[in-house]
């Protein structure tokens, strides 16, 4: 994989460099609530502008259905990028139309333009190879060189991620190079004990990574909504907790495999429950009840791990040499159910281990709960991409950069 440093050594002054970033940031109206992914691409964009490139930044945001949708405009992300760069950033109101061409043609050396949401075009996500290729060719007309730096999208075989880098000289940006380097530390020559903490809503989202890591991890700690399917597999009542009944057989299989391989598989011993899901807008007190994990009332829903589980998980992380964490332990957006996620984050901060926060809600939780990002070894920008890499899958966006 060729990197941006090689490109910079060749010289980029006056060249149009297409940077496929990941500006898919959470927004409430016009307000960006977490700009972590924008900040993550800054080193690449800064290096290119300082070297005199004409930088064309493109990204997706949300899941518009192949047509313009004002709710998913990148206009506000472009403005935030300009603020963080400390220089004006122009914005094109389309991706391959007259505004995009005008914005790119108007760039002087060292200037930046952001194109409108790539997914406003059906060709970006099309499963039809010809339609995707046609869109990629029109994007290629805007640039001389391609730099892939949207790690959060490299597991997608989309036009700007997979097809476009095959049409232009292609290089990996600083973010992708860093992310891949970190993930290799979780798969090759891992320092032990290696502890994996998995949470989040659906166990089905994590089955692949559990399957792969059963051959690599020393301990796997389970929390969040996915824990209740494992508890159900062990024969426990889970009430109205989030449950994927069809995944119970898979959970039983993984529990048996873990025991056979000597992998410590740890489930919650106590949980906070309620008959109602908390109001995340008003943050009104939820008044949860603490119960043993094997004694959840039939009319109650588990919403966070309890204090004994927090202590247990902290003890299981204390001697780790490598930790990968993906997925919150509960509904961390509400203060009454944030303590479990906070406890795991604090255990990682306190640990001397190489700690990796696997993007998505975990990264959002770290910021929401007020932790110093520098206290962790690495905070990934791509939850889904990180998981698929750890599953051993080929990621289209990385494969295209390696061709």
Does residue 193 have a cis bond before it (omega within 30 degrees)? yes
Q: Report the C-alpha gap between 331 and 279 in whole angstroms.
A: 11
Q: How many residues does the chain have?
A: 403
Task: Supply φ then ψ for residue 23, to 5 degrees.
Answer: -105, 25
Q: Exposed, middle or buried by CB within 10 Å (0-12, 13-18, 19+), for 149?
A: buried
SS3 373: helix
Among all residues, which ones are annotated catalytic?
A: 37, 202, 360, 384
SS3 14: coil
Query: Which amino acids are annotated as binding site for ATP, given as ranges?
Result: 206, 302, 333, 359-362
- For 329, what's the count of Cα atoms within 13 Å in the CB-facing half-sphere? 31
Q: Report the C-alpha gap between 320 and 322 in whole angstroms.
A: 6
Closest to 19 (Cα-Cα) out of 62, 61, 48, 51: 48
Query: Which amino acids are annotated as binding site, given as ranges?
Result: 22-24, 37, 60-63, 119, 156, 206, 302, 333, 359-362
Partnered with residue 265 across adjacent β-strands are 220
Query: Which amino acids are annotated as binding site for substrate, given as ranges?
Result: 22-24, 37, 60-63, 119, 156
Structure letter (DSSP) for residue 17: E
Contact in structure between 316 and 190 (CB atoms under 8 Å): no
């Amino acid at each position: 994989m060729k990197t941006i440093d090689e490109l910079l050594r060749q010289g980029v002054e006056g060249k149009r460099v297409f940077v496929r970033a990941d500006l898919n940031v959470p927004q409430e109206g016009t307000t960006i609530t977490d700009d972590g992914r924008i900040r993550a691409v800054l080193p690449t964009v800064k290096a290119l502008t300082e070297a005199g490139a004409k930088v064309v930044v493109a990204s997706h945001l949300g899941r518009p259905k192949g047509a313009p949708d004002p709710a998913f405009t990148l206009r506000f992300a472009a403005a935030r990028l300009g603020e963080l760069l400390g220089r004006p950033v122009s914005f094109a109101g389309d991706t391959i139309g007259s505004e995009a061409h005008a914005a790119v043609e108007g760039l002087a050396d060292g200037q930046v333009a952001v194109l409108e949401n790539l997914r406003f075009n059906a060709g970006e996500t099309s499963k039809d190879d010809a339609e995707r290729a046609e869109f990629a060719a029109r994007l290629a007309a805007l640039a001389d060189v391609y730099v892939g730096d949207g790690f959060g999208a490299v597991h997608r075989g989309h036009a700007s991620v997979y097809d476009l880098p095959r049409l232009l000289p292609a290089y990996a940006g600083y973010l992708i190079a860093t992310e891949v380097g970190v993930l290799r530390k979780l798969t090759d020559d891992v320092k032990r004990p290696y502890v994996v903490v998995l949470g989040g809503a659906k166990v089905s989202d994590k089955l692949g990574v559990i399957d792969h890591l059963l051959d690599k991890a020393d301990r796997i700690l389970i929390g969040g909504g996915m824990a209740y399917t494992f508890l159900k597999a062990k024969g426990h009542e889970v009430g109205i907790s989030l449950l994927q009944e069809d995944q119970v057989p898979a959970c039983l299989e993984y529990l048996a495999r873990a025991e056979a391989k000597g992998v410590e598989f740890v489930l919650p011993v106590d949980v906070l429950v309620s008959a109602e899901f908390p109001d995340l807008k008003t943050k009104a007190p939820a008044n949860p009840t603490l119960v043993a994990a094997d004694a959840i009332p039939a009319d109650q829903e588990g919403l966070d791990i309890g204090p004994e589980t927090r202590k247990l998980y902290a003890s299981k992380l204390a001697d780790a040499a490598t930790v990968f964490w993906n997925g919150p332990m509960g509904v961390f957006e509400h203060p009454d159910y944030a303590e479990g996620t906070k406890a795991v984050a604090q255990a990682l901060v306190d640990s001397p281990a190489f700690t990796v926060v696997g993007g998505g809600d975990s990264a959002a939780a770290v910021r929401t709960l007020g932790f110093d990002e520098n206290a962790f070894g690495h905070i990934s920008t791509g939850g889904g991409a990180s998981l698929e890499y750890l599953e051993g899958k080929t990621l289209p966006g990385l494969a295209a950069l390696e061709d």
